[in-house]
Structure 1
Amino acid sequence: MSGPMTPLGRRCALVAPGSDERKMAKALESTADEVVLDLEDAVTPARKEEARAVVCRIVGEHRTDRTVAVRVNGLGTAWALDDLRAVGALDGVAIVLPKVDTADDLITADRLLAESGSTARLQALIETPHGLRSIDEICCATDRLEAVVIGYDDLGAALGRVGGHIPARWLHVQDRVLIAARAAGVQAIDGPHLSIADDAGFRAAAQWTRDLGFDGKWVIHPGQVDSTTEIFTPTSDAVDHARRVLDAIAEAENAGAGAGQLDGQMLDEAVAVAARRVLAQIGG
């Protein structure tokens, strides 16, 4: 069995509570591609301002070679504007906007960041029926948007969907988000399942969305990082095949042939797109 390569991207994003300095520091020392520090659900109202200050300090003290994002409080809350200003001033930190219902939510966040001179990138959490219904417009709302993430628990509660996170029950939602993200050229990230176990059920759910075409997954425990990273990493065999595909297509074009061939298979643009996506996952 071939081993995994090491791509750039968001194969695994580890979420840590903004109310717990020890867990944040541990997350920032992990091997996750991205660390998401949470100022929303993980922080009680009484500690919002304190947590914001701690998160900003922690980010400044623990610069790493991985992406750092901060989930701020939602628009319409008493903390949103101060969150956007404080996090937007941090160098190279992305902002995760929760409960995005419409494109206007992202447009508003974009405007507020622009007014403060921030170049921060945005990610949108899709965790309401309104957000799912508006997903096409959301994905095209602003050039700041780099990823959309499914928030299963809030969305499941709003839909009245019970019985856990059985992957097949979410296929329509997952495809809906994935198609909109691909059409807009933003990343599609699978949200976390609220289990800290790296067990067969967790891995099956990650493999399900990997096979659907998602770029990566949020996790809530460091013990889930390695398996998630491996699942969303192309194997060396897949990378080698992708390179051979593109080489064969280039050779056919140079020879003036109508289409390339590889191992008895005709190579068209759809095959080339798939090959390019594999190489993009490893930064190639």
Structure 2
Amino acid sequence: MTGSAVPPPPGRRRCVLSVPAGDARKVAKALGSAADELVLDLEDAVAVGDKDAARELLVATLHDLEPRRAPILTVRVNAPGSPWCHADLLALAVLPRPPATVVVPKVESAGDLAFVDRLLAGAEAGRAAVVPMTVQALIETAAGLERVQEIARSSPRLVSLVLGYADLAASLGMTAPAPDRLDLWLPAQQALLVAARAAGIQAIDGPHLGVGVDEHFARDVGRARDLGFDGKWAIHPAQLEPITAAFTPSGSEVAAAREVLDTLARAAVAGAGAAQLHGQMLDEAVAAAARRVLARSAGDPAEDGA
């Protein structure tokens, strides 16, 4: 990364909508969605023969797009080692207003992110006052899952890990679980969560493998929230509202989180080595949990210290 520039703090990603980057109609419609983040997909959603055309269309769209606050715009580039990854990254990095972040699919080692970091750093080096693009790593192979802790700590640009179910199932040789057996994904979910939390970055659950909004979808979303994920991907607009609602803290949860942080702040000003609240000892782990609650709240994450 060039100079002393550092990436901005990660934004709120309660609900992330993925759309094909090569479909101008879907992109235009998605820009007005209620998702926290919009992923414009140059990888799985684009056929091999259409990669260059989709990139050109996306670059033209982003070049003409007015600055916007929400949803966060990101691009899912093609995987490292593919014929298109470097071209995707360079085309995005030289835009007058590059996307806030890129999703890198099929990350299998720290070396994959080192390649991305060097390429972006070189593209950014000749530009004045550029805000470095951040990176999200999509973990969707056996090799990536095995090395997820190494990957989570490998780049200062990295702001989140995302679990990709369809490709991971194929990589593991796993029969796609029935809707009532999604508990089979628990080991992979916990591995990614532990790695993300230990590295201090976000953990985002991949999409429910279906476009319906039924009881199986609701259980899938609820389990991801209860496990501790910061948000979840969606593949259909009908899924946005229930995902966002599930990952938005209640008013009482927000109030409790603010009370924790206020209590710790007063203790620090007073020079106290520890603080208590309602009989509970407060420490950095409790503070980190409180900050995650505020980052997912309906208020401005920047104002909440996210």
Q: Tell me, yes or no, if structure 1 residue 202 matches structure 2 residue 217.
A: yes
Contact 2:164 2:206 (C-alpha < 8 Å) held by counterparts:
yes
- In structure 2, the partner of 1:74 is 79
Corresponding residue for residue 7 of structure 2: none
Deviation at 1:250, TM superposition (A): 4.8
Q: Say which of 69, 73, 79 aligns to 1:65.
A: 69
SS at match of 1:188: strand
Residue 113 of structure 1 is matched in structure 2 by 120
Trace 1:73-92 onto structure 2 (pairs within 5 A).
73-90=78-95, 91-92=97-98
Distance 1:77 1:273 in 2: 38
Q: How many Å separate the matches in 2 of 1:194 and 1:128?
A: 17
Letter in 2 for 1:65: R
Q: Which has the higher contact order (CA 8 A, sep 6+)?
A: 1
For residue 87 of structure 1, report the CA deviation from its aligned partner. Answer: 1.7
Shift of 1:256: 5.4
Matched, 1:272 2:277: no
The aligned amino acid for 1:51 is: A
- Aligned in 2, Cα 1:114/1:261: closer, same or farther, shift over 3 Å? closer
SS in 2 for 1:55: helix
Question: Given that residues 25 and 58 in structure 1 are in contact (C-alpha distance below 8 angstroms), is that contact kept between their aligned partners in structure 2?
Answer: no
Q: Within the alignment, does 1:133 sit opposite 2:146 as a pair?
A: yes
Quick check: 1:188–1:215 contact (8 Å CA) kept in 2? yes
Q: Distance in 2 between matches of 1:255 and 1:138?
A: 37
In the alignment, the residues of structure 2 paired with residue 80 and residue 126 of structure 1 have an alpha-carbon distance, to the nearest angstrom, of 16
| Cα deviation 1:212-264 (Å, max 9, x = unaligned) | 111111111111111111111111110012222334445566495954232xx
Amino acid at match of 1:70: V
Whole-angstrom CA distance in 1 between matches of 2:86 and 2:272 = 57
Q: 1:62: Cα distance to partner?
A: 3.6
Q: Partner residue of 1:5?
A: none
Q: Do residues 281 (structure 1) and 290 (structure 2) align?
A: no
Distance change (3 Å), C-alpha of 1:242 and 1:52:
same
> Which residue among 23, 26, 44 is the counterpart of 1:23?
26
Per mean C-alpha deviation after superposition, the further-off stretch among 52-61 and 219-228 is 52-61
Per-residue deviation, 1:161: 1.8
| SS of the residue 1:238 aligns to | helix
User: How far apart, in 2, do the equivalents of 1:34 and 1:51 lie?
Assistant: 20
TM-score by length of 1: 0.90
Equivalent position of 2:156 in the other structure: 143
Say whether the 8 Å CA contact 1:72–1:84 is kept in structure 2.
yes
- Structure 1 position 79, deviation (Å): 1.3
1:229 is aligned, of 220, 230, 244, to 244
How far is 1:92 from its partner?
Answer: 4.1
Contact 2:148 2:192 (C-alpha < 8 Å) held by counterparts? yes
C-alpha RMSD over aligned residues: 2.0
Contact 2:205 2:233 in 1 (8 A): yes
Question: Matches of residues 148-187 of structure 1 in structure 2 within 5 Å?
Answer: 148-162=161-175, 163-164=177-178, 166-187=181-202
User: Quick check: 2:274–2:282 contact (8 Å CA) kept in 1?
Assistant: no
- The one-letter code of the counterpart of 1:182 is R
% identical aligned pairs: 45
Which sections of structure 1, spanning at least 5 residues, go unmatched?
Answer: 1-7
Q: CA deviation at 1:89?
A: 2.3
Contact map agreement 1:95 1:121 (CA 8 A) in 2: yes
Task: State the TM-score, normalizing by the size of structure 2.
Answer: 0.84
SS in 2 for 1:234: coil
Aligned pair in 2 of structure 1 residues 132, 12: CA closer, same or farther (>3 Å)? same
Which one of the candidate residues 93, 98, 102 is aligned to 1:95?
102
For the Cα contact (< 8 Å) 1:17–1:42, is it kept in 2? yes
Q: Which runs of 5+ in 2 are unaligned?
A: 1-10, 126-131
- The amino acid across from 1:53 in the alignment is E
1:214 matched residue in structure 2: 229
Partner SS, residue 38 of structure 2? strand
Q: 1:151 to 1:164 in 2, by over 3 A?
A: farther
